[in-house]
Amino acid sequence: MLSVEQKLQGVDRKSLRIGVFYDGGFFYHVSNYYRYAHPRKKRISIPGLHEFIRHRAAELEGVDVRYSQIIDSHFFRGRFSAQQTQANNKLYAERAFNDVLMNEGVTTHYLPIFSKAEKGIDVWLSLEAFELAIYKRYNVLVLLAGDGDFVPLVRKLNTLGTRVMLPSWDFSYTDDQGRERTTVTSAKLIGEVAYPLSMHEIIDSAAEGDAPLLDNLFVESRPRVHAGEPTQRTPSEAETEPDDAHEGHILSLKEGFGFIACKHFPNNVFFHHSALENGEFEDLCETDPVVFRAKEDGRGPVAYSVELPNHANRTD
């Protein structure tokens, strides 16, 4: 008859303890790529990603997926002060994403941003990941990061016998201003981990609808319609000839589109993110002044050639 200790050891051998650690800036960059540049046009889903991790870890470790569990997940990112975030009208969006993390049981770690660049996030993530790997005895630690600065962390985790899974992304695209954007995960980092996952290849290898686990990696985007606002549409749907240039300001910003207030139009003017000709859509703030041209379709005015007249002088 097995002793209690032997029984516990048997359970320990078949259980798979997973810890997930996010470099928040890297994750947000990848999610933006799939939302705006990739054909799927959807953001990465935190619950869907965790489910994918559980299944892939179970497959790699040779255990039943029922015993493959994420016992810990942590999200690290620099954050502006509440006053700065509210001034840029992004407080709701930040809180909404925090709700997603909270509902999925992800512990958040924020460092204050005193300039435009994050500082110290990679060090803090590495220290927390190594300490928790010791105390919580992860079998697999999932590192959602792409920087070669995490190589020392991976080497330290290897000494503990903790296998590191690295979902990596390599992609390039041309932004709305014709500039080539490229993201490449450090080859040195990939070479150090036990389980490298080339996520861009995994995702693109299956057509949408053919692999439910991969489809669940993405948030189902449903455009929200507010009172007095036309439904979401792209500039290509405009029907009439262009109007003269107008001045207005950003009234509201949604997922990949927004609305402009202008005294020349009784209704708010819809604009798609691709209509922005200077600057980045993610950097737009409500109340920003804009110059634009517009066309009328059956549902209201649609803006194109949207420009920020003072873009070169922006400091926020």
- The domain defined by 12-215 carries CATH number 3.40.50.1010: yes
pLDDT at 241 over 70: no
Instruction: Give the residue-averaged pLDDT of 120-131.
Output: 94
pLDDT at 155 over 90: yes
Long-range contacts made by residues 225-230, C-beta under 8 angstroms, separation at least 24? 226/252, 228/267, 228/268, 229/259, 229/268, 229/270, 230/267, 230/268, 230/270, 230/299, 230/300
Tell me which of 11 and 170 has the higher pLDDT: 170
How is residue 146 written in tokens? 């792409």
pLDDT at 128 over 70: yes
pLDDT at 169 over 70: yes
Predicted pLDDT of residue 83: 62
Residues 6+ apart with CB under 8 A from 17: 69, 71, 136, 137, 138, 139, 140
Where exactly does CATH 3.40.50.1010 map onto the chain? 12-215
Query: Among the listed ranges 20-34, 87-101, 272-286, which one has the minimum average pLDDT value?
Result: 87-101
Predicted pLDDT of residue 227: 34
Question: How would residue 62 be classed by pLDDT, with cut points 50, 70 and 90?
Answer: very high
pLDDT at 198 over 90: yes
DSSP H or E segment with residue 300: strand 300-307
* CATH of the domain spanning 235-313: 2.40.50.140
Q: Identify the bridge partners of residue 249 per DSSP, sorted by sequence position.
A: 261, 289
Residue 163 half-sphere exposure toward CB, CA atoms < 13 A: 13
Q: Is 94 helix (H, G, I), strand (E, B) or coil?
A: helix
How is residue 83 written in tokens? 């006053």
Predicted pLDDT of residue 268: 86
Region of 82 (left: φ > 0; alpha: ψ -120 to 50; beta: rest) is alpha
Average confidence score pLDDT of the chain: 81
pLDDT at 46 over 80: yes
The dihedral sign for the CA sequence 93, 96, 98, 100 = negative
- Exposure string for 41-62, b = 16+ CB within 10 A, e = fewer: ebbbbbebbbbbbbebbbebbe
Instruction: Give the residue-averaged pLDDT of 40-58.
Output: 94
Instruction: Give the residue-averaged pLDDT of 247-270.
Output: 85
Using the 8-state DSSP alphabet, how is residue 104 labeled? T
Query: Among the listed ranges 21-25, 97-101, 293-297, which one has the minimum average pLDDT value?
Result: 293-297
Confidence (pTM): 0.66
Rounded Cα distance between 173 and 183, Å, is: 9
Report how far apart the first and last C-alpha atoms of the chain are (Å, whole number): 69
Rounded Cα distance between 145 and 157, Å, is: 15
Long-range contacts made by residues 197-203, C-beta under 8 angstroms, separation at least 24? 197/56, 197/165, 197/166, 197/167, 197/168, 198/168, 198/170, 199/167, 199/168, 199/169, 200/168, 200/169, 200/170, 200/171, 203/40
Where exactly does CATH 2.40.50.140 map onto the chain? 235-313
Give 80-89 pLDDT, tens digit per residue.
Answer: 656 655 555 5
Predicted pLDDT of residue 157: 98
- How many residues are present in the chain? 316
Question: How would residue 118 be classed by pLDDT, with cut points 50, 70 and 90?
Answer: low
